[in-house]
Chain A
Amino acid sequence: MLIVKDVIKKFKDKTVLKGVSFEIKGQEIVAILGRSGGGKTTLLRCINGLETNEQGTIQIGSDFMTKEENGKMIYANKQQKRAFRKQMGLVFQNYNLFPHLSVLENIIEAPVYAFGVSKDVAIQKARKLLEILDLADKENEYPFQLSGGQKQRVAIARACALDPKILCLDEPTSALDPELTGTIAQTIRVLSEMEQCAVVLVTHDIPFVERIAERVIFLVEGEIAVDCSKDEFFQSTDKRIRSFISTMNIS
């Protein structure tokens, strides 16, 4: 489904992604792990078109952000970008909810005003999502009235409102109380099943990955060091993995 191939991203003369390739299929839950500065957030931002990669392909089916054909880079135009983005949902680390819009307005803004879904249909879908996310009584509240965990779930609902094929979450546990980590893992799993979407999470929260992920992509200095199942990852004897796990568990 999502194909990422030979993606290279530079900031000035520093190469942050050095030819990253992977594929995401079906409804798998994939954790992109790595130390800070390892390029994982940049990778997520490239996939969502917030950064432009200098080389490589990022595509879902016939829709793409960037494409390399016969050694030539093709960048999506506005319409192609929108078509691609419709299939992706992104939950930002700090959520970026629109503070002046109610919970419901936050969720239906894109379907109604960017993709021409009728308001009734969009509201119906939004209410269904709010139900799953345990926010059914919050639709008329404003973001400042919500707790951190609730804001995050609104952001998840907003990202899911367009029926994405892939739901991306940037550091979903970084701003949460530890006891909420289990809840959000459960929620993400339920949502992935109901919405039939794959989930890509960028994180360095090892216990969270153990709880939720099916597959781990381990990024070291802009390259994929390991791409394997969760169990393989945690049982691995690879030095880099062992040292990463132990330092992360201490902090």
Chain B
Amino acid sequence: MFDYLTTILPTFLGGLKTTIFYFIMTLIFAIPIGIVSALIKAKRIPVFTQLIGLYIMIMRGTPLLLQILFVYIGLPYIGVSFEREVAAIIALSLNYGAYFAEIFRAGIVDIDKGQHEAADVLGLTPFRTFRRIILPQMVKKVLPPTANEVINLVKDTALLYVLGITELLTLAKVTSNADVSLLPYFIAGVLYFIFISLLAKLFQKAEKHFSYYE
């Protein structure tokens, strides 16, 4: 059994690498999408606010699996086609961007109007006000819900199996079938668990960093 482990572990670490790759790429695009959407909604910029609202509704109102298929298989019908890797990142980013948007918007709106007014009467510039007064308070507020979403994302990368991307769970399934063993699933589970535990730890540290005030 130990021999079996040592032979398949490198392959599984490769699968974990694929999972982490899509995880990171999605965050790189989804967080900016979330911030921009949140700012537009919080500032109630006409037309754009409605468009963002529609976008968020669609993303939250349909299954992620369907969205992934739509980007890869559906869009080519109207002449837009992507490589499967690109389609995967687009679908995940759009979906998670929508969830982040709602979290960040709540964080911005939640900050008391008095904070803006105090900064205003003190003569701080809008940029300084956002960076020094609003943003740090917002980050503190949105950290816990963001942590939740980020952890969900790790597990949602498993849906990429529909595009034939061999991330960790797909790899486990393939290996399990070939070797007629349940052990690959167990190994995949342990690897997910370790990676997510590390992420959780990271968020805990970040929250602690902001816990010096109430």
Residues of A in contact with B (beta carbons under 8 Å apart): 48-50, 82, 85-86, 88, 90, 92, 94, 96-100, 109-110, 113-115, 142-144, 158, 162
Contacts and interface: CB of A to CB of B under 8 A. Distances in A.
The dominant DSSP class at the B interface is: helix
A34 to B, nearest CB: 22
Nearest to A90: B121
B121 A142 contact: no
Contacts of B123: 82, 85-86, 110, 114-115, 162
B114 A113 contact: no
Interface in B103-126: 112, 114-115, 117-118, 120-125
The dominant DSSP class at the A interface is: loop
B214 interface: yes
B128 interface: yes
A113 B117 contact: no
B133 interface: yes
Given A97-B118, A158-B122, A162-B123, 15 more contacts: A49-B120, A49-B121, A85-B123, A92-B118, A96-B114, A96-B115, A96-B117, A100-B136, A100-B210, A100-B213, A109-B122, A113-B124, A114-B123, A142-B213, A144-B213
B124 A109 contact: yes
Contacts of A82: 123
A99 B214 contact: yes
A110 B71 CA distance: 49
Contacts of A142: 212-214
B67 to A, nearest CB: 37
B18 interface: no
B128 A48 contact: no
A48 B121 CA distance: 7
Interface string B127-157: 0100011001100100000000000000000
